[in-house]
Amino acid sequence: MRPEFKDKSIRSFVIRGGRMTEGQQSAFDQWWPTYGRSLHDGLAATQMIFAEQKPVVVEVGFGMGDSLLEMAQADPNTNFVGIEVHPPGVGRLINEAGRLGLKNLWVFMADATDVLTDCFDDNSIERLQLFFPDPWHKKKHNKRRIVQKPFMTTIARKLRVDGVLHMATDWQPYAEYMVEALAQCPEYINPMGAEHYSPAPDYRPKTKFEKRGERLGHGVWDLLYKKSSSHGL
């Protein structure tokens, strides 16, 4: 399986090389027909997901999928959609979802901007999660950061009124950058007040990396912004 892309000059990720293991390929063979969704199907890719009339939560860049899997297990009354470009993480997630028999989780292996633009109606998503995105530390690479005004505007169009954009990062300069970026987006309001972070909600599982960081005194910053009612379409 290969990620699905449309033409674009700058992306917020780099596809890592390497072949899939036999186990990863087996996971795709067995479980992709159940959990996989195609960018090229457009709105039809999510029609069944929204037909169930459950809240829909989307996570962009779920990595190996541990937290998304845990959230889907804990909340069967919510439908979860993951977007990730790296096959190993996608294979692992759908394999575990199949093993557990989850009925409320689906996956796109494609660019997030493409998926949101083509496969989701406006005002449809309850919460969009962006946990620990690559901060692209070097200044010359800052243009690759996923937190950019055009992408934030795309998310706002897809969120329901009062829907939530939840970001989290373990790098303070990126957290400060996120605050500055969202201040330039009038579609959002920060319920905690301008330039304030939020306590980590109970629904966000802590990763092993995060727990280790806490023991070492490292911080994690959660940012929860709501779509303003004045920007409903």
Residue 19 inside a domain? The answer is no
Residue 85 lies in domain? 39-231
> Degrees (nearest 5) of the Cα angle 76, 102, 67?
75
Looking at the structure of the chain, the number of domains it has is 1
**Spatial CB neighbours of 92, under 8 Å, sequence gap ≥ 6:** 24, 27, 64, 65
Task: Decide if 84 is inside a domain.
Answer: yes
pLDDT for the residue numbered 10? 46
Residue 186 lies in a domain: yes
Task: For the beta carbon of residue 125, count every other beta carbon within 10 angstroms.
Answer: 25
Q: Is residue 175, in this structure, part of any structural domain at all?
A: yes
Choice among 75, 118, 134, 222 that is catalytic = 134
17 domain residue, yes or no? no
> What was the pLDDT predicted at 195?
83
| Residue 22 included in any domain | no
Binned average pLDDT, 10 residues per bin, the chain of 233 residues: 69 53 84 97 98 97 94 98 94 95 98 97 98 74 80 97 96 94 95 92 86 76 92 57
Assess whether 122 carries a catalytic annotation: no
> Which SS3 state, helix, strand or coil, does residue 126 take?
strand
In-domain check, residue 16: no
Q: What is the CATH number of the domain that holds 213?
A: 3.40.50.150
Per the domain annotation, does 31 fall within a domain?
no
- E strands of the chain, at which residues? 36-37, 56-60, 79-83, 105-108, 125-131, 159-169, 188-189, 221-227
Q: How many CB atoms neighbour CB 46 within 10 A?
A: 24
Q: What is the pLDDT of residue 138?
A: 57
Q: Please report the beta strands in 1-61, taking only residues with DSSP state E, as ranges in sequence order.
A: 36-37, 56-60
> What is the per-residue pLDDT for 207?
78
What was the pLDDT predicted at 215? 76
pLDDT score, position 7: 62
